[in-house]
A and B are shown apart, each in its own frame.
Chain A
Amino acid sequence: MNDDRFMEQAPDYALGLLEAEELEAFERHLAAGCAQCEQELASMDAVGDALAYSAPALAPPTALCDRVLAAIATDLEHERAGADALAAEAAAVPAGQPLYRGQPTATPTYEPSPAEWPPRVPVVAVRSIPWWVRVGPPLAFAATLATVLVGAWAYRLDRQLTLVRGDLERVQSENQALARILDVVQSDRLRVVALGGLEGAPQAHGRVLWSPEKKQAVLYVFELPRPPAGKEYQLWVIDGQTPRSEGVFAVGADGRATHVLPEPPAAAGASAFAITIEPAGGMRQPTGAILLLGSEGAVIDG
């Protein structure tokens, strides 16, 4: 084993630059327990992470924080309400992997502008009245009171709106996923690729329903164990030699998963699909063992 070569490759590995055989060899070497290379890689990972800090930091708009908090508030409500069917379905979809990827962004364009509330009219209007000296103070008081009330009312409305918008986004993304699944199922020529469990998950099985014509595909997996902490399942499509990521996905408590492929292969040529277990968030190239694999496609004509 030539350690020098692997030591030299640690920076490339940290940046995700190793490909195919080199990557495989490097992984094998690490798996064999080379402490020196592991240490080298750990420090190169830290250098890679540090590079992120060279991008100028910029606080995102405040509305974004509200959106995130509204979404987690909705999550909490759902969690507290118990695992109803909707929540179970949502959990089967990879969190943070927007289903509308490849579609125009679903970010709502309407943002309530708190600056417009409370309305400016009353106080100014009162002051423009000529006999303001006598009537002004009580009117101004009433106007101020009204302003405060309107402000509080607007605040409550805004909060409710944020919650509703969070719900709406969830429903929209779920709807889009369902529409894409329906699109596949209703396709004229449907390609079905059966996936079988390999050594790591022999009981697991699944299928990819794929419509090359509509460029839509959906993965169903059954009897797949929940991944260990810090790991996620990742789907790969293999066109020729190179595996390409089709995103990470979550598995429900019942061992089932549904995953809409973000970038389904367009060509109707023979493709294989593979599922590996990877560090959370997914990897650019597969690093874990293949748990499910399928390449024999059956074409169903409508």
Chain B
Amino acid sequence: MDLGFGPRAAGRPSSPRPSEDRLQPNSTRQLAAETHALDRDLMNRVRARDPEALRALYDRHASLVHGLGLRVLRDATEAEDLVQDVFLHLWRRAEMFDGERGVFTGWLVSLARNRAIDRLRARRTRERKGDEFEAEQAAPPTAGPSDPDATTYANELRGAVVRALGTLPDQQRAALELAYFGGLSHSEIAERLDAPLGTVKTRVRQGMLRLRELLGEFVDAGLASGTEDGRR
């Protein structure tokens, strides 16, 4: 029986979007390409059971996963468990990553976010109460000190995302944060923000479109693996 759920975006666009109108496309793309290529090589070595490669990936990305876990779960122990979960999964199921289909960090971030939200939902069910996740509505996110362990590209992206989010109207940003970090549905967000459902839907979409505009070069870099081999 097929309920019509096809595989999610099985193929990806074969060519990057035009970026000639973007600022500094070359430097960012170059940096992204190097970063993504190194990650991909490390994953190949992980697949060949090289613990040093896993160690290197951990050093490069553990703070990203940990930070995401803390933001979603708001609990130090659970965030650490998440990091362990994600990196053990990476080691044990390295074949799951397909370097031809997308960049490693995109895969890693989706994996970490899905797992974090699973944990959050399990906790909500367990505790039989509304979640305690709060969007930081009042204050736009501030760029923390750049993480010395992270890749230069990650730090650049981090700065750009924080700046971009800072320019969104508070309500738009809050809706995006509740959706992304809180794993809430449209109607849950509407309830939380005390806004009509239609308004929330519009805020989320406009927020995402605006972010794409502001993050243009980074979005392109994340799209095409930063290399010309595409994702076919």
A residues lining the B interface (CB < 8 Å)? 8, 11-12, 14-17, 19, 23-24, 27-28, 30-31, 35, 38-39, 41-61, 64-65, 67-69, 71-73, 75-76, 79, 95-98, 101-102, 105, 107, 198-200, 229-232, 245, 247, 250, 262-263, 276, 279-284, 286-290, 293
Q: Is B45 an interface residue (CB 8 A)?
A: no
Chain B residues with Cβ below 8 Å from A38 are: 9, 11-13
Instruction: Given the known inter-chain contacts A45-B9, A68-B87, please indicate yes or no for A52 contacting B66, CB distance below 8 A.
Output: no
- Residue in B12, B58, B98, B204 whose beta carbon sits within 8 Å of that of A17 in the complex: B204
Cβ–Cβ contact A95 & B98, under 8 A: no
Q: Which residue of A lies closest to B113 (CB)?
A: A52
Chain A residues with Cβ below 8 Å from B107 are: 280
- Residue in B6, B54, B83, B176 whose beta carbon sits within 8 Å of that of A64 in the complex: B83
- Residue in B17, B71, B122 whose beta carbon sits within 8 Å of that of A55 in the complex: B71
In the complex, which residues 148-186 of chain B have their Cβ closer than 8 Å to any Cβ of chain A? Answer: 149-150, 154, 157-158, 160-162, 165, 176-177, 179-181, 183, 185-186
- Bound-state CA distance A33–B206 (Å) is 25
Instruction: Given the known inter-chain contacts A45-B9, A53-B64, A57-B63, please indicate yes or no for A284 contacting B114, CB distance below 8 A.
Output: yes
- Label chain B's interface by main secondary structure: helix
Q: Which residue of B lies closest to A46 (CB)?
A: B222
Cβ–Cβ contact A42 & B95, under 8 A: no
Chain A residues with Cβ below 8 Å from B67 are: 55-58
Q: Which residue of B lies closest to A32 (CB)?
A: B6
One of B21-29, B36-44, B212-220 at the interface: B212-220
- Bound-state CA distance A157–B46 (Å) is 28
Chain A residues with Cβ below 8 Å from B98 are: 229-230
Cβ–Cβ contact B223 & A43, under 8 A: yes
Q: Which residue of B lies closest to A41 (CB)?
A: B9
Q: Is B229 an interface residue (CB 8 A)?
A: no
Please provide the 5 A-B residue pairs with the shortest distance between their CB atoms, ordered closest to farther. A31-B6, A96-B89, A280-B96, A55-B71, A11-B208
- Bound-state CA distance A251–B134 (Å) is 38
The number of chain B residues with a CB under 8 A from chain A is: 96
Chain A residues with Cβ below 8 Å from B79 are: 60
In the complex, which residues 15-62 of chain B have their Cβ closer than 8 Å to any Cβ of chain A? Answer: 17, 49, 51, 54-55, 58, 62
19 A-B pairs whose Cβ atoms sit less than 8 Å apart in the complex: A19-B185, A30-B8, A31-B4, A38-B9, A46-B219, A53-B158, A54-B141, A55-B72, A55-B141, A97-B85, A107-B81, A230-B98, A230-B101, A263-B122, A281-B89, A284-B114, A287-B5, A287-B7, A290-B2
Extra contacts, 17 of them, besides A55-B68, A75-B91 (Cβ < 8 A), are A27-B6, A27-B8, A30-B8, A30-B9, A46-B106, A52-B113, A56-B70, A59-B63, A60-B83, A69-B51, A229-B98, A232-B93, A247-B118, A263-B122, A286-B3, A289-B1, A290-B3
- Bound-state CA distance A29–B156 (Å) is 35
Cβ–Cβ contact B51 & A73, under 8 A: yes
Q: Which residue of A lies closest to B11 (CB)?
A: A38
Chain A residues with Cβ below 8 Å from B199 are: none
Cβ–Cβ contact A27 & B5, under 8 A: yes
Chain A residues with Cβ below 8 Å from B113 are: 52
Instruction: Given the known inter-chain contacts A68-B58, A281-B111, please indicate yes or no for A50 contacting B157, CB distance below 8 A.
Output: yes
Q: Is B144 an interface residue (CB 8 A)?
A: yes
Cβ–Cβ contact A43 & B204, under 8 A: no
- Bound-state CA distance A198–B72 (Å) is 37
- Bound-state CA distance A238–B205 (Å) is 29
Cβ–Cβ contact A39 & B17, under 8 A: yes
Cβ–Cβ contact B3 & A48, under 8 A: no
Cβ–Cβ contact A53 & B1, under 8 A: no
Chain B residues with Cβ below 8 Å from A17 are: 179, 185-186, 204
- Residue in B64, B92, B105, B215 whose beta carbon sits within 8 Å of that of A57 in the complex: B64
Chain B residues with Cβ below 8 Å from A286 are: 3, 5
Q: Which residue of B lies closest to A293 (CB)?
A: B1
Cβ–Cβ contact B122 & A229, under 8 A: no
Q: Is B147 an interface residue (CB 8 A)?
A: yes
Cβ–Cβ contact B4 & A27, under 8 A: yes
- Bound-state CA distance A35–B14 (Å) is 10
Cβ–Cβ contact B147 & A57, under 8 A: yes
Cβ–Cβ contact A42 & B9, under 8 A: yes
Instruction: Given the known inter-chain contacts A53-B154, A263-B125, A288-B7, please indicate yes or no for A67 contacting B106, CB distance below 8 A.
Output: no
- Bound-state CA distance A51–B89 (Å) is 22
Q: Which residue of B lies closest to A9 (CB)?
A: B205
Cβ–Cβ contact A289 & B119, under 8 A: no
Cβ–Cβ contact A289 & B97, under 8 A: no
Instruction: Given the known inter-chain contacts A49-B222, A281-B111, please indicate yes or no for A245 contacting B118, CB distance below 8 A.
Output: yes
- Bound-state CA distance A11–B172 (Å) is 13
